[in-house]
Amino acid sequence: MENKKIEIKDLTLVFGDKKEEALKMLEQGITIQEIREKTGTAVGVNDINIDINEGEMFVIVGLSGSGKSSLIRCMNMLNIPTKGQLLIDGEDITKYSKEQLMDLRRNKVAMVFQHFGLLSHRTVLKNVEYGLEVQGVSEEEITKKAMEAIELVGLKGWENYFPRQLSGGMKQRVGIARALTNEPEILLMDEPFGALDPLIRREMQSELLSMEDYMEKTIVFITHDMNEAFKLGDRIALLKDGELVQIGQPKDFFENPANDYVKSFIEDVDKSRVLRVRTVMRQPFTLARKGESREAVIKKLESFDREFCFVVDEDRKLLGYVAYKDLIKLDKSNINEAIVTDVESLHRNAYLHEVWGKLDKSNYDVAITDKAGRLRGVISYEDAVSALA
């Protein structure tokens, strides 16, 4: 089972003065509209429970005013929850002291903002350096790290420009670079592409995916665009009026929409174009390691009733596959000579409709890999069909 990075427990956030009163009314089941009228308080988040796994891209989606920003701002305590707990790596950050909180913000959690939140009086480089500068890191170290981040987001050569000289897309790249220089474990992104036009937006989405692909950060991403949510999210939480309506993998929303509200949300989403292989793939039934003994692999294949399985090295890098019929004929003690390196594989960020081309050619599973060539999962014809059904 995957590690829980962020655990949100019974979290409620009320804006305004009469917090206690509002909490009581919430318990009595009074609607937040009524609470707003009676007490003048706004309920941003209402009793939410969510676990976010380490390394996943978690998307929070919902209409304007549904409480997405309210919730994500609790994750670095820009908003202070009225009730409930918020655990990061098992520690309740709502109980943190000022120093602990500062430490959390400096080292573990970074945020990217919808309107970029850049410092207009600083150059791109100085903006990106900010997070390390406040920590009193040495000048060279700061600049080195900042330049790396700038390069990563493709802004090399723009270091000495000011934000006002950049386009929207570039500004957000600065925002992302700034968040990355601290090497945070968690990246909070509040509608980061909301202010960008569609073309740039799509470009930024795929760049984010490819960045995330090898950084293995936990990313919490907010959007009100269902297409964007499905494209990016490993898992998605749908909010309405501060409450959690449904949480799950993208395919879950299509397979089991919780109610009509969810249905209306996904109505005009073209599944095959937004569902990514990564959210549909499953773990292989069995795997062989390079250098593993012939007998062990044969036994595994027999016990799972498989014709073949993929072979990986120590780092889980995909090397090829071995077939049962080849192995029984092989007269070596290990499987290395039977490995077929000509193997169908697909990047895990590919859309589902791209799978068809591969599946037509073989009746076997297609291997799903990441940028580093590591085997992340497999997908078969049946998996793909059932996901789109």
Partner 1 sequence: MFSFPEGLRFQISGPIDDFVNWLLVNLGGFFDAITRFILTIFNAIEVTLNIIPWWLMVIALFYAGYKLYSLKMGIALSAMLLSIGFFGLWDMMLYTLAIVIISVLVSLVLGLPLGIFMAKSDRTKRIVMPILDAMQTMPSFVYLLPAVMLFGFGKVPAVFATTTYALPPLIRLTYLGISNVDKEVIEAGLSFGSTPKQMLMKIELPQALSTIMTGVNQTTMMAMAMVVISSMIGAEGIGEQVLISIRRLEVGQGFQAGLGIVFLAIILDRVLQGFANRLKETE
223 lines the binding site for Mg ion (CB under 5 A): no
Which one of 69, 76, 127, 249 is in contact with Mg ion (CB under 5 A)?
Answer: 69
- Helical packing angle, 124-133 and 139-152, nearest 10°: 120
Min dist. Cβ of residue 199 to partner 1 (A): 24
Instruction: Report d(CA 139, CA 282) in Å as an integer.
Output: 46
State which residue, 12 or 69, has the beta carbon closest to ligand ATP: 69
With beta carbons less than 8 A apart as the criterion, state whether 312 and 318 touch: yes
78 lines the binding site for partner 1 (CB under 8 A): yes
State which residue, 107 or 210, has the beta carbon closest to partner 1: 107
With beta carbons less than 8 A apart as the criterion, state whether 239 and 66 touch: yes
Number of residues in contact with partner 1 under rule CB under 8 A: 33
Nearest to 250 by CA among 225, 223, 230, 274: 230
Instruction: Report d(CA 105, CA 69) in Å as an integer.
Output: 17
State which residue, 227 or 345, has the beta carbon closest to ligand ATP: 227
Which one of 46, 69, 181, 279 is in contact with ligand ATP (CB under 6 A)?
Answer: 69
- Residue 105 binds which entry of ligand ATP, Mg ion, partner 1, none, CB below 5-8 Å type-dependent: partner 1
State which residue, 65 or 373, has the beta carbon closest to ligand ATP: 65
State which residue, 66 or 127, has the beta carbon closest to ligand ATP: 66
Burial class (CB in 10 A: 0-12, 13-18, 19+), 90: exposed
State which residue, 82 or 182, has the beta carbon closest to ligand ATP: 82
State which residue, 116 or 253, has the beta carbon closest to partner 1: 116
Burial class (CB in 10 A: 0-12, 13-18, 19+), 2: exposed
Instruction: Report d(CA 245, CA 343) in Å as an integer.
Output: 41
State which residue, 122 or 224, has the beta carbon closest to ligand ATP: 224
25 three-state secondary structure: helix
Stretches 69-77, 234-242, 243-251, 286-294: which one binds Mg ion (CB under 5 A)? Answer: 69-77
71 three-state secondary structure: helix
Min dist. Cβ of residue 225 to ligand ATP (A): 10
193 lines the binding site for partner 1 (CB under 8 A): no
- Residue 70 binds which entry of partner 1, Mg ion, ligand ATP, none, CB below 5-8 Å type-dependent: ligand ATP
Residue type, 214: Y
Which one of 26, 86, 110, 274 is in contact with partner 1 (CB under 8 A)?
Answer: 110
Min dist. Cβ of residue 122 to partner 1 (A): 8
68 lines the binding site for ligand ATP (CB under 6 A): yes
State the alpha helices, DSSP H only, in 267-331: 271-274, 277-280, 294-304, 324-329
Stretches 110-118, 149-157, 301-309, 366-374: which one binds partner 1 (CB under 8 A)? Answer: 110-118
Instruction: Report d(CA 285, CA 264) in Å as an integer.
Output: 36
Which residues fall within 8 angstroms of residue 192, CB to CB, at 6 or more apart? 112, 113, 114, 172, 175, 176, 204, 221
Number of residues in contact with ligand ATP under rule CB under 6 A: 12
Instruction: Report d(CA 386, CA 389) in Å as an integer.
Output: 5
Residues 117-136 that bind partner 1 (CB under 8 A): 117-122, 130-131, 133-135
With beta carbons less than 8 A apart as the criterion, state whether 191 and 149 touch: no
Q: Residues for the chain: how many in total?
A: 389
Evaluated on CA atoms 103, 108, 112, 116, the torsion sign reads positive
15 lines the binding site for partner 1 (CB under 8 A): no
42 lines the binding site for ligand ATP (CB under 6 A): yes
* Contacts with ligand ATP, 214-233, as mask; x by CB under 6 A: ----------x---------
Question: 331 φ, ψ to 5°?
Answer: -110, 30
192 lines the binding site for ligand ATP (CB under 6 A): no
Q: Residue 308 pairs with which residues in a beta bridge?
A: 323
With beta carbons less than 8 A apart as the criterion, state whether 55 and 47 touch: no
Name the site residues for ligand ATP (rule: CB under 6 A). 15, 42, 44, 62, 64-70, 224
Name the site residues for Mg ion (rule: CB under 5 A). 69
Name the site residues for partner 1 (rule: CB under 8 A). 73, 76, 78, 101-107, 109-111, 113-122, 130-131, 133-135, 162, 164, 178, 182, 188
